[in-house]
Structures are given as C-alpha cells and as structure tokens.
C-alpha cells in the first residue's frame, strides 16, 4: 500500500520512518477501508474491535439518544483517532457512531496491540504511545472547549463562544468551520431553526456575517457592546 504518504504527516506516525512504520503496521494488524460520504465507520452500540484513524477525509462523531435526538460530539480530521479512550477504560461497545462526511480512508488498528507495549521489532512503539498520549490530551482540551460553549445559557452566547474560539484558532476574524448549520446546531445542542433565527438576528445587528460554512466575527462590535 502507499498509504505511508498520508501516515507520515499524522501526529501519531509522523516522526517514524517508512521502514519502522511498515513494521508497526504489521504489529498493529492494520487494515484499510474507504468509506463513501454518509457511511458509518463505526456504529453506536456495536462492540469495539479496533481503534480507527482517519487517514484521508473526515468524519463526524455523533450520538443518538432514545428520543432520537442527535448530538454531534466532535469532528475528526486526517490523523485523528477514535476509540482509544474507550480501550483504556475497558468499554466494550461504541458509545457513538462515526460517520464519514466525505470519501474517507480509514485505518483500523487492533486496540490491544496499540496500547500494550510489545516485544516485537516495531521499536518505535514507545514513540507512538507518546504521540497517542499527546492526542488524548488534545482531545481533552477539545472536549473542555465544547463544554465551555455548551455551558452558556443562550444560543447567542453558545455561538459566540464557539466563533470566538474558531477566530482565535484561525488567527483572523474570518474563518471556516467544519460544520454545516444542522451539524453546528447538533454540536451546540440547540434547536436548528432557533439557531437559524438567532444567526439572522446577529447578522442584522452587524455582529457576524456568514456564507455557507464561512463566518466573519465583528469583534469591535462585540467589545463595544459588552
């Protein structure tokens, strides 16, 4: 396979040469699969066999409760893994579904091989462990950020909390977000139509502007009125 080009730019395998990477692929019993847009990479409730990594493309982690409410937990981009934390805490079934948002290549890795140190020749396993640790820490921060947005009382404040972070990340008050409107509503746990109304109101007030998934945040306005 020539997936090494993709793997070499991931956080997990980036610092590892192609030869060692190959050895590790073997050790982790990796297999690759390509998913079409909308296909489920993992299904909520199914037993966990592997840790998955997005090699190319992207996916959304979502949770559907008994009442049918959809909650978007996060988005996974290239290089990101899912299923690691569950493996560490010993969960046996997926708590969420992972759904491809475009044509997406996924690498499946044996969950046990990944987290236990091995006696094999893949001598870079320690580096991978370190990298995974880093990624779990980053995910933690990501979840804390989501909590910060969701803890806001009003839809407007939730949106502003999210937009402010995205602007900071982009280092610009003009930025693109990885969600469409429906997904954003499910990410922030607000009603989509109510959110749509609120966004329109914010635009009328000159606070923000947007087109598709691109947004502009008028920070001057924000600071003036606080």
Partner DNA sequence: GAAAATGTGTTGTTTTTACAACAAAACGAG
Partner DNA sequence: CTCGTTTTGTTGTAAAAACAACACATTTTC
C-alpha closest to that of 186 among 63, 100, 66: 63
Site residues for DNA, 23-42, by CB under 7 A, read 36-38
Contact flag: residue 190 with DNA (CB under 7 A): yes
Please check whether residue 201 is in contact with residue 98, taking contact to mean a CB–CB distance below 8 angstroms: no
189 lines the binding site for DNA (CB under 7 A):
yes
Q: Are 145 and 165 in contact (CB under 8 A)?
A: yes
Q: 116-145 burial, b if ≥16 CB within 10 A, otherwise e?
A: eeeeeebebbebbeebbeebeeebeeeeee
Query: Per CB under 8 A, which region of 8-16, 38-46, 81-89, 193-201 contacts its own copies?
Result: 81-89
Q: Does the protein bind DNA through residue 68 (CB under 7 A)?
A: no
226 binding its own copies? (CB under 8 A): yes
Alpha carbon distance 181, 178 (integer Å): 10
Which of 189/218 has CB closer to DNA? Answer: 189
69: contact with its own copies by CB under 8 A: yes
Give least dist CB 66 to its own copies, A: 7
Q: How far apart are CA 106 and CA 120, in angstroms?
A: 24
- Interface ranges with its own copies (CB under 8 A): 63, 65-66, 69, 71, 73, 84-86, 88-89, 91, 95, 129, 132-134, 136-141, 143-144, 146-148, 150-153, 189, 226
- Interface ranges with DNA (CB under 7 A): 36-38, 153-156, 180-183, 189-200, 212-213
């Amino acid at each position: 396979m020539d997936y090494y080009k993709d793997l070499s730019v991931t956080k997990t395998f980036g610092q590892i040469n192609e030869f060692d990477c190959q050895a590790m692929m073997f050790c982790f019993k990796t297999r690759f699969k390509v998913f079409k847009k909308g296909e489920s990479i993992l299904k909520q409730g199914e037993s966990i066999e592997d840790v998955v990594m997005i090699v190319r493309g992207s996916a959304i982690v979502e949770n559907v409760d008994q009442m049918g409410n959809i909650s978007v937990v996060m988005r996974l981009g290239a290089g990101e893994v899912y299923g690691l934390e569950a493996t560490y805490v010993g969960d046996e079934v997926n708590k969420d579904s992972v759904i491809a948002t475009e044509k997406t290549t996924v690498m499946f890795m044996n969950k046990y091989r990944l987290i236990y140190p091995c006696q094999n020749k893949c001598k870079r396993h320690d580096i991978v462990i370190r990298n995974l640790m880093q990624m779990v820490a980053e995910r933690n921060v990501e979840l804390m950020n989501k909590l910060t947005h969701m803890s806001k009382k009003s839809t407007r404040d939730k949106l502003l909390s999210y937009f402010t972070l995205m602007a900071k990340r982009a280092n610009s008050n003009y930025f693109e977000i990885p969600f469409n409107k429906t997904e954003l509503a499910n990410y922030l746990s607000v009603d989509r139509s109510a959110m749509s109304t609120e966004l329109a109101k914010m635009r009328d007030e000159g606070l923000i502007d947007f087109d598709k998934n691109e947004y502009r945040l008028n920070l001057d306005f924000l600071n003036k009125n606080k």
